[in-house]
Structure 1
Amino acid sequence: MTKRQTTTTTASITWKDSGVPVAEQFDDPYFSLEDGLAETRHVFIDGNELAARFRPGFQIAELGFGTGLNMLAAFIAWLAAGSPEGAGFTSFEAFPMEAVDIDRALRAFPEAHAVAGPFLSAWAEGARRFDLDGFAVEVIEGDARETLATWDGKSDAWFLDGFSPAKNPELWGEALMGEVGTHTAPNGTFATYTAAGFVRRALDAAGFDVERVPGYGRKRHMSRGILRP
């Protein structure tokens, strides 16, 4: 592995020989060791049925921005859906990665890296709000347990992508999942790679009908759900 030191305000990264970045704070990789883009599409894009749901004004929200891979996958899906006007993506991230690390990580996924140029340029300049051909992106830095409560938006689809619940339980607690429910639009959905029982119970308590469905690759199960009326 090669390692690069960072400040306490940004993510501290260790690199596996395979090129996968690992968050030192949580000892957890940022994406699947098999194919992170394919996993993103299975879990978040298909799990929220975005291809059939994109419409003008559609809003996505996410816990855990990481490398921005999920955002780029959503952007690609939005383009494929005809770029409905007014779509947006808001993500909450406590330990933002530096642009050089994001660029290095995304090179593992040529399709995503090919459209990442404007994002990487904006990120390197310190911008946390930027526009990708009409797809508005905002990344809110800080502890989501504090920042989500003050967000004035509501999401049509949630990507719940914190690090493993066993290693990062703070991002999966009942209070935070309650805020996710509060900040979900009518008929809004969530999807996540985890099927941990306490996470599913917290989402049920937050107002979602939760189902366990087949996961990606070696992960037997994942979870998704829709907000109850």
Structure 2
Amino acid sequence: MTMTTSSQSALTWQDGVIPVSTRFDDPYFSKNDGLAETRHVFLEGNDLPARLTPGFHIAELGFGTGLNLLALSLITKTPTRFTSFEAFPLPAQDIARALEHFPQARAVAEPFLTAWGKGQTKFQIGPIAVEVIIGDARDTLAAWPHKADAWFLDGFSPAKNPELWSPEILHEVARHTAPHGSFATYTAAGHVRRSLADAGFQVERRPGHGKKRHMSAGRLP
């Protein structure tokens, strides 16, 4: 499968290194060390890599620059599946520029960037089999036939991108989560936590990364 370019997200660059979506007026990663935030929120928030076993399936809302995927690839040699839902894919050259800010991630990114530059949305990076599903998650997630063991909820902020944090989307996340599966997200917005709880997750607020006081994580019973 190859991606279409008609819906690619326009961006500007803050301080020359941080991509900011002009559509959502929000940066693609934290100004306070995005790679460290990824590790704290999404990896530690889902108790990874401790839970990884062959075939473990991670799903993500908001692929962005692929930073979460690359952070995962740096900590595991376990065969893992990774599915990400992205409405506005970035061109490979912009992703490469953004990743220069994170030498560790950039050092393992070449297989991804090569595939992405060819328009491929299915590729392998180390032990991780990746599929990026392009389109509006309100449609693509509902049609997805799989269930994830862990979710990275990493869309633009709920205030800027409310559609991706609606009760309907978060119920679909729960519906597409395996028993005892988990989620983690940087946001601690009350309506997001309530919607996740209503969807069936046991939700907790945890210390956030850097200057961010709180984040959210949880599991299905």
Which TM-score bucket, shorter chain as reference? over 0.9
Amino acid at match of 2:95: I
Alignment match, 2:78: 84
Structure 1 runs of 4+ aligned residues shifted over 6 Å read none
Q: Distance in 2 between matches of 1:52 and 1:117?
A: 26
Identity rate, percent: 63
Amino acid at match of 1:129: K
What is the aligned counterpart of 1:56 among 54, 57, 61? 54
Let me know the Cα RMSD of the aligned residues. 0.9
Q: Distance in 1 between matches of 2:65 and 2:78?
A: 24
What is the aligned counterpart of 2:12 among 14, 39, 50? 14
CA drift at 1:8: 4.8
**Matched position secondary structure for 2:49:** helix
Q: Distance in 1 between matches of 2:168 and 2:92?
A: 31
1:141-197 Cα deviation digits (max 9, x unpaired): 000010001111111110000001001000000000000000001110000000000
**Matched position secondary structure for 1:77:** coil
Alignment match, 1:3: none
Q: What are the equivalent positions in structure 2 for 1:1-229 lying under 5 Å apart?
A: 8-78=6-76, 83-85=77-79, 87-228=80-221
Q: Distance in 2 between matches of 1:129 and 1:69?
A: 16
CA drift at 1:134: 2.9
TM-score in terms of structure 1 length:
0.93
Report how many residues are paired. Answer: 217
User: Which structure 2 residue ranges, 5 or more long, are not aligned?
Assistant: none
Q: Distance in 1 between matches of 2:6 and 2:128?
A: 30
Is the CA contact (8 Å cut-off) linking 2:73 and 2:126 kept in structure 1? Answer: no
User: Which structure 1 residue ranges, 5 or more long, are not aligned?
Assistant: 1-6
Higher relative contact order, chain-length normalized (CA < 8 Å, sep 6+): 2
Q: Distance in 2 between matches of 1:161 and 1:27?
A: 15
Amino acid at match of 2:38: T
